[in-house]
Chains A and B, each alone.
Chain A
Amino acid sequence: MDRKLRCQDSGFWGCLAAVTEVLGCIEVTGCCVIEEERRVRANAREYNEKFQYASNCIKTSKYNIVTFLPVNLFEQFQEVANTYFLFLLILQLIPQISSLSWFTTIVPLVLVLTITAVKDATDDYFRHKSDNQVNNRQSQVLIGGVLRQEQWMNVRVGDIIKLENNQFVAADLLLLSSSEPHGLCYIETAELDGETNMKVRQAIPVTAELGDTSQLACFDGEVICEPPNNKLDKFGGTLYWKDNKYPLSNQNMLLRGCVLRNTEWCFGLVIFAGPDTKLMQNSGRTKFKRTSIDRLMNTLVLWIFGFLVCMGVILAIGNAIWEHEVGVCFQIYLPWDEGVHSAFFSGFLSFWSYIIILNTVVPISLYVSVEVIRLGHSYFINWDKKMYCAKRRTPAEARTTTLNEELGQVEYIFSDKTGTLTQNIMVFSKCSVNGHSYGDVQDMLGHKAELGERPEPVDFSFNPLADPRFQFWDPSLLEAVKLGDLHVHEFFRLLSLCHTVMSEEKSEGELLYKAQSPDEGALVTAARNFGFVFRSRTPKTITVQELGQAITYQLLAILDFNNIRKRMSVIVRSPEGKIRLYCKGADTILLERLHPLNQELTSITTDHLNEYAGEGLRTLVLAYRDLEESYYKDWSERLHRAGSVPEAREDHLARLYDEVEHDMMLLGATAIEDKLQQGVPETIAILTLANIKIWVLTGDKQETAVNIGYSCKMLTDDMTEVFVVTGHTVLEVREELRKAREKMMDASRSVCNGFSYQEKLSSNLTSVLEAIAGEYALVINGHSLAHALEADMEVEFLETACACKAVICCRVTPLQKAQVVELVKKYKKAVTLAIGDGANDVSMIKTAHIGVGISGQEGIQAVLASDYSFSQFKFLQRLLLVHGRWSYLRMCKFLCYFFYKNFAFTMVHFWFGFFCGFSAQTVYDQYFITLYNIVYTSLPVLAMGVFDQDVPEQRSMEYPKLYEPGQLNLLFNKREFFICIAQGIYTSILMFFIPYGVFADATRDDGAQLADYQSFAVTVATSLVIVVSVQIGLDTGFWTAINHFFIWGSLAAYFTILFTMHSDGLFRMFPNQFRFVGNAQNTLAQPTVWLTIALTAVVCIVPVVAFRFLKLDLKPELSDTVRYTQLVRKKQKTQHRCMRHAGRAGSRRSGYAFSHQEGFGELIMSGKNMRLSSLALSSFAPRPSASWIDTLRKKKGGEGSSAGSPSGAADKTLRV
């Protein structure tokens, strides 16, 4: 309706604009002025329109209906090859030059352009579709005081929109108010930075009160803030409202891509929309990716072009000389063309004529064929059942069809962690209580069971409050609980009390935990299932259902977690009045704080911890301490005093906490499994064997990342050393990198000394580092990485990192991920692959040569930006080792053969030039020239390019070393190219001179001469087609019915077309076009002709066969050996290589609740985050503490790498 009106108002152009708006976005580009600051007034569209801010419409597509043809053609003619053919076409239209009919070029050219255009159009259509899908998501916009459903793309800067729980944030919003008290709201930023733990945002106090739509509709504050940028953790601006100024920070912002969680609703003011949002600013430009083969191909095409010009020049000089010496005299029979008065000019013309007839060395069908092959390979990936995830019903998808062969050349993989390597599910896996370890999967006889033969999980039906999703495999633990083992009871009591989880009970028994970190959730859920159900909490109490009996503990204090303490404690008073401190934390810290009495138990528990760590589990140690009433009173008083002193409050508190967490009694340890995706360690092991280096780039913490590194076998204890770089300044980082390098060099020097490698050491840094003997790993932190990526240090960093077997970068921002990839791309001539699942991986995925998106997880941004997508990390192995390797192999074989056949075809003209007065007379019939590349020889080589394989897929997984030729680029490089060319030229020489020798004086069996031009043409063409077909037969390693069909079909097509073209009927219709009438039947009936063809074929093929035979015998490739072994072993049972699942006697790694954030303890104690309903139940008055939110902020500010605006001032208003 609205749109219709606009149409009527503004006439045709308005209509057109409206129409294009429906089709896609209108681009509003304020191109002239660079935005310096942004002014946004709430609820004032007219005012905001002045500034022409980008709308919330996202456009990743390239064309629309109107622009498609010109833009696409323009793009296609940027391709050197296409321009070149256009140029040829123009040349052919000049009669003096034209040595071939115009259709020999235009038919293939039009074919090529059309196919490419259709492909581009379909690609873009899907991009439009996905854009539309995002742009048409609904959101509620406050317009004129009423909430209206609007599409995302119609959201404007300055609108107030309402978000509901679990909705995606539509644009970058300034949080105004929310359903939660104090304008708090929780968001998940997985799409932005990959972290799945919840984060808190808070509205500034003045707007937090604007609860309903009528109040918000009157809100007319104006925000002046920074221009759009890509800094996710920084925002600076000021809100002007009612003559007051309020500073704004990142703490008040909801960014596009976040998801609202645990918050019923909230209102936000749109500050940045569409392409200006931080998410989109972070996603980088869409760049057209080319493979290295593509680039090589372009170089080679240029070389061939150079070669072509050389040949043209030689023949032109020949022509000039010939015309000068012979042609002049021959003028009585063949006068020069009109306008040609000198031999020199004739030579000049013949140069261009030869360029035309020799152009088939760079056949236009090359590019089409390459595209077709790639498309075929893409479909193989799409159709691969072994890459289909039945659970998620997602097949693998090759979203870009142009990169397949590069999959066979990958040297570096950059992987995200969360969602890619891990499932982001924490599972309570094992525990050790009082020196007894529980959780091993056991069979009837009590032996540890192997994987795969799991017995029934433990039955928790006795407990009505149990979480049905929780599974545990060791029944003895539940028995211990039921038998009333006090240690076990105390163990689970601790787990149910010592945490910062919030519970929600929608209906009786239907408990929902809001855990701030998944680790903690797993622990509390475990306790819940074993009968210690955490039911509810108030700021001063915790209610736990202990084996069916509700017990309310008085919560005296939460000694919160932080990075240095690596532990948290609670102090509770039981209903009996006993005061007890429960503590859980990192083993390294906690074991030192135990009472000496525990020594024996400690050593047993330590053994267990080692065992758990060896399995890659995250461990925590649990302990308790009974406190004397008097001692506690004294302590809590001191705590209260310390809390009220503003300066050095932190230190005082830390000291007090330290004091009380002492002399504790050990209860046991827990082991949580950060569930890896299926088959991750195996995949990584195989990829490592294939000489692919894997770097993990994650937004997670260092401990988490390292832990995952161990559990997926990237890091092992066999490694000589793991270097950790955590420096905060340039100097520190440089020093740490230098030390790491020195250590590696020392080690290799000591190794090398024995082998007199000394001279190698004196050469440059790179070669030394590449000759490193031991296995090293590098772990680097985000802030160190920021320094390491600076221009003067990046090379150092790269050298160090590349010398290591595994590299883990933690706490990295999306942009840093991209920078790391860019760095490797820049200095290493290696193919990089980035794999990730979240929006935070988008820039990395786009930067890498190949981007892989994990689909089926939340969010599709990564998939949309990716070149390939599938749902499991383990499929990467198949994608690279099978599909990638084959694609590469096929493409290389295809290119070799393609250049060969065209050189063999074209160079005949060159030799003929010497016998026809360099007149650019073609050897073949013009139809043969037109059809040779598109009909006679295209399909067999396509079939080979699509279907060929050297070893079957199982073998390429079994022998990852088979992947190496791709990385080293052995199968198609300049050397191989020259070999193909040489073979082509050799063939062309024989192809011309054998018929020449035979025909010179030969006559037919009816006495007529044999060596007429047309018979010669047919003989050469036929032997060429036969030789080239035999050659493709030799090259094909894997015969399918299609290969047979195409090869025999091509030969059949050749003869059919030959006889048709030379038939009477066609000649009668167009006598001037089909001059070869009767030629085929006359020539091919001659035995001499067939003898010649046979001779040519034998002489062309025998050397190739002999050479290959020799190579197979004397210097077999790995793939040859594998193939041979396979033949031998065919009847033997194939041996499966099982990956070792054996545990590792591991070093201990532990950390407390890894993705935990400090400040929640205080938040709980203050009761601010609790609903009024739950507060009402509480008999305790909320303690007046206004500083908790400050603490929360400060912690966040300190954690981020950049210092934001002084956020402490957020709730102080400044009078203007």
Chain B
Amino acid sequence: FLVGLGQGWGCVRGLLIDYTGTEPSSPCNKCLNVSWDSTPPCTCTINFTLEHAFESNVFMYYGLSNFYQNHRRYVKSRDDSQLNGDNSSLLNPSKECEPYRTNEDKPIAPCGAIANSMFNDTLELYRIDNDTRTPITLIKKGIAWWTDKNVKFRNPTGDGNNLTALFQGTTKPVNWPKPVYMLDSEPDNNGFINEDFIVWMRTAALPTFRKLYRLIERKNNFQPTLQAGKYSLDIAYNYPVHSFDGRKRMILSTISWMGGKNPFLGIAYITVGSICFFLGVVLLFIHHKYGNRNTSADIPN
């Protein structure tokens, strides 16, 4: 079983790039103090090399640390009723959303601190092959839970499918450059059911976390998804984290049946297994030596 576990994670490949840019040498250092509404966005490029090819499907994550998505005031600052497409909540969001409930007397859609702080860096991946940059297709759908996409999050309903009309009377979250109905061009990934938005809204349990950003699918069986070689990561650096000592990372990973790389569980199992075995031996020994004592023990009266 342990071997199985080891195999499970043995072939998992991963790569982590911190692009916060706190070090002066980092290409993103110039963007360190961006603000939300800087136009045009500050962009930077980080080059990296893959030592090994990534054979199976590759998952691209963004990671944040020192970001308290699990803070009580943060966690509760949302209106699930509004996100579920309830029209009355759309125009009259829950009090829990304060202070991101209304802006200029207009209800905010989506309201609350979580939505307001949505991660909005854009990451693009290029393969550099003999100085030619080939963009790698990043799939942005299928990154959210099915239940979230289909049950929990729904756009408001009304006449027609024009999201702009449906969101009439609301205003965009304070930090957002554009309203929720302009998150994506595809209608089934726009508004509240935009998957980037849904992923963000599923708050993390711990202050250091990663969230799925894009999928890179393996095209055919003859070629690995990502060959070994040089790549570059283009970042539209919009999301400020420096003020609270946050870090931003991009992670590429493949997964096994067990999920991503998880050294903790393996080590823990091996350790606990050996301790249990050792303990069993010791107890057996003790039992043989002392356990018979009370078989013939006479009971005091």
Contact = CB atoms under 8 A, between A and B. Distances in A.
B259 A1086 contact: yes
Contacts of A332: 117, 240, 243-244
Given A959-B301, A1116-B294, A1009 B264 contact: no
Interface string B206-228: 11111110010000000000000
A1041 interface: no
A326 interface: yes
Given A326-B244, A1088-B258, 19 more contacts: A332-B244, A333-B74, A919-B73, A959-B301, A998-B264, A1000-B206, A1002-B260, A1003-B255, A1003-B260, A1007-B143, A1007-B253, A1008-B143, A1008-B199, A1009-B212, A1010-B259, A1013-B205, A1016-B205, A1087-B259, A1095-B268
A999 B259 CA distance: 11
B155 interface: no
A919 B262 CA distance: 28
Interface stretch (B42-50, B103-111, B145-153): B145-153
Given A915-B207, A1118-B300, A1120-B294, A334 B276 contact: no
A1011 B205 contact: yes
A1121 B94 CA distance: 64
A996 interface: yes
A1124 B294 contact: yes
A1003 B63 CA distance: 12
Interface string B105-148: 00000000100110000000000000000000000000111111
Q: Which 6 A-B residue pairings sit nearest by Cβ, starting from the closest?
A: A1078-B147, A1003-B260, A1016-B205, A329-B244, A919-B72, A333-B117
Contacts of B71: 330, 334, 916-917, 919, 921
A1005 B57 CA distance: 12
18 contacts: A330-B71, A332-B243, A998-B264, A1000-B206, A1002-B262, A1003-B210, A1004-B259, A1012-B203, A1013-B75, A1071-B152, A1081-B147, A1087-B259, A1091-B5, A1091-B269, A1113-B290, A1118-B299, A1122-B299, A1128-B295
A1071 B261 contact: no
A1109 interface: yes
B297 interface: yes
Interface in A592-649: none
A671 to B, nearest CB: 33
Interface residues of B, number: 81
Interface of A: 99, 326, 329-330, 332-335, 337-338, 353, 689, 915-917, 919-921, 959-961, 994, 996-1005, 1007-1017, 1064, 1067-1068, 1071-1072, 1075, 1077-1078, 1081-1082, 1086-1088, 1091-1092, 1095, 1098-1099, 1102, 1106, 1109-1110, 1112-1114, 1116, 1118, 1120-1122, 1124-1125, 1128
Contacts of A960: 301
B208 A1000 contact: yes
Contact of A1064 (B57, B145, B147): B147
Nearest to A1114: B290
B86 interface: yes
A1008 B286 contact: no
A47 to B, nearest CB: 70
A1001 B261 contact: yes
B54 to A, nearest CB: 13
Contacts of A1072: 79-81, 94
Contacts of A326: 66, 68, 244-245
Interface string B284-301: 001100110111010111
A1112 B295 CA distance: 12
A426 B159 CA distance: 102
Contacts of A1078: 145-148, 151-152
B244 A921 contact: no
Nearest to B113: A334
A1062 to B, nearest CB: 9
A1109 B86 CA distance: 59
B19 interface: no
B206 to A, nearest CB: 6
Nearest to B276: A1102
B69 interface: yes
Contact of A1095 (B204, B211, B272, B295): B272
Contact of B99 (A338, A1114, A1116): A338
B204 A1009 contact: yes
A1007 B70 contact: no
A272 B74 CA distance: 74
Secondary structure call for the A interface: helix
Contacts of B286: 1110, 1113-1114
A559 B144 CA distance: 112
A1088 B145 contact: no
B39 to A, nearest CB: 18
B43 to A, nearest CB: 21
Contact of B145 (A337, A916, A1008): A1008
A1005 B258 contact: yes
Contacts of B231: none
B200 to A, nearest CB: 11
B61 interface: yes
B265 A1013 contact: no
Contacts of B146: 1078
Q: Which of A960, A1009, A1014 has the largest count of B CB atoms less than 10 A from its CB?
A: A1009
A1092 B255 contact: no
A1128 to B, nearest CB: 6
A1113 B294 CA distance: 8
A689 B299 CA distance: 13
A398 to B, nearest CB: 29
B238 to A, nearest CB: 13
Contacts of B94: 1072
A35 B128 CA distance: 110
Contacts of B205: 999, 1011-1013, 1015-1017
B52 interface: no
Nearest to A1019: B205
Given A919-B73, A1013-B205, A333 B116 contact: yes
Nearest to A1011: B205
B279 interface: yes
A1011 B204 contact: yes
B283 A1106 contact: yes
B262 A1102 contact: no
A338 B73 CA distance: 12
